[in-house]
Copies of this chain bind each other. A is one copy, B any other.
Amino acid sequence: MVFARKHLLKIESYEAGRPISEIKCQLRLKEVIKLASNENPLGPSPKAIEAVRKALSSINRYPDSSGYYLRKKIAKVLSLEPSNIILGNGSDELIDIIIRAFVEDDENIITADLAFLEYKIVSFINNRNLITAPLKYFKFDLAAIKKKINPKTKLIFIANPNNPTGTYVTKYELEEFFRGLPENILVVLDEAYDAFIDVEDFPNSLNYIKKKNVLVLKTLSKSFGLAGLRIGYCLGLPELISSLEKVRQPFNVNSLAQEAAIAALDDKKFLRKTRSLILEGKKYLCQNLWELGIPYVSSVANFILIDVGRDGVSFFKEMLKFGVIVRNMRQYGLKNFIRVTIGTKKENIRFIKVLKKILKGNTPRL
């Protein structure tokens, strides 16, 4: 028998969920709405779709390994150089690449105990020690994170805004955090949800990538509706980016993702539409939650973490019976919570309707 590596024996094998179409079939549901994965409810950027359509006949060719045109495009949009940019098969892959490029076997990584799960998963896969600091009022507590630093700390992940809480750290908090931070520790600002920010005191991460120890992660998954295509990027000084390039596989980003992203970055109309849909939808949902007396965490992202006051997994299952898929927070260890993605107006109304029915105890037996 061939044995897997020792550190992998500690976990159960991943058990994949079934696709929505299968669930729909099994539960005999007519219409299902998915508010579980923080996806763009408007669909993909039409400009991206158009670009993909044009590129279809060439998918027999390998992708451009260097991402030449896309990196040039991002550089132009952000007033950077292509050497400040590396592309990933979603920002998930870049999280992995960052650890593989910078964190030695005996070094550790710090993040919050209730942060994007991928940091935990990827630290584990890489057999690296992940140290976590508690949140404070559902927010990243940068002072608590700083206290966790020890001589073996190499990397700190700050999800800003954070998933699954939707909270953010302000520019003042971040300034304070960098004051006196050892320069040999790499700080990753993960801004997967930056498209939905509507607060004044959110830090401008482009100011920070001038530092020798800061990387910024971005994705087009949510903002431009390209989650299915897998495209994220990372920004930083060329010295840092070139270290990441050593670990990147030559054809990690597929051709259609590259074409879609180049076109999407010009689709300002779609981005505006997305933003206003999310901001309005969030207002509607929060108003209704408040009226129902259901506590939730104030969010600057495109989702809301809700305290349903009872077991979140069974609550999730009840919603599913009505054809509404939300995310239960079991994996995050939040027992009484669900996370709902802001959808279209119609979807939000349906979510509130179903929520009310369940609160009244009107769940159907299936």
Contacts and interface: CB of A to CB of B under 8 A. Distances in A.
B213 A2 contact: yes
A105 B106 CA distance: 13
B125 A247 contact: yes
A230 B227 CA distance: 16
Contacts of A93: 249, 252
Contacts of A329: none
Interface of A: 1-6, 8, 11, 13-14, 16-19, 22, 34, 37, 39-44, 48-49, 52-53, 55-69, 89-90, 92-93, 96, 100-105, 121-122, 125, 154, 183-186, 212-213, 221, 225-230, 239-240, 242-243, 245-252, 254-257, 260
8 contacts: A1-B213, A2-B102, A5-B100, A11-B246, A44-B56, A58-B228, A59-B228, A63-B230
A265 to B, nearest CB: 16
B56 A92 contact: no
Contacts of A257: 254
A213 B2 CA distance: 6
The residue in A2, A13, A185 that gathers the most chain B C-beta atoms within 10 A of its C-beta is A2
Given A61-B37, A62-B37, A63-B228, A186 B2 contact: yes
Given A3-B184, A226-B60, A68 B251 contact: no
A331 B89 CA distance: 26
A256 B225 CA distance: 14
Contacts of A221: 62
A41 B252 CA distance: 22
Contact of A16 (B60, B66, B185, B240): B66
Contacts of A63: 227-228, 230
B4 A101 contact: yes
A184 B229 CA distance: 38
B44 A57 contact: yes
Contacts of A184: 1-3
Given A16-B65, A59-B228, A61-B39, A92 B8 contact: no
Given A59-B228, A62-B221, A63-B228, 9 more contacts: A4-B102, A13-B243, A16-B67, A16-B68, A19-B68, A44-B59, A59-B226, A61-B227, A229-B256
A60 B227 contact: yes
A212 to B, nearest CB: 5
Contact of A61 (B59, B100, B228): B228
Nearest to A183: B1
Contacts of A256: 52, 228-229, 254, 256
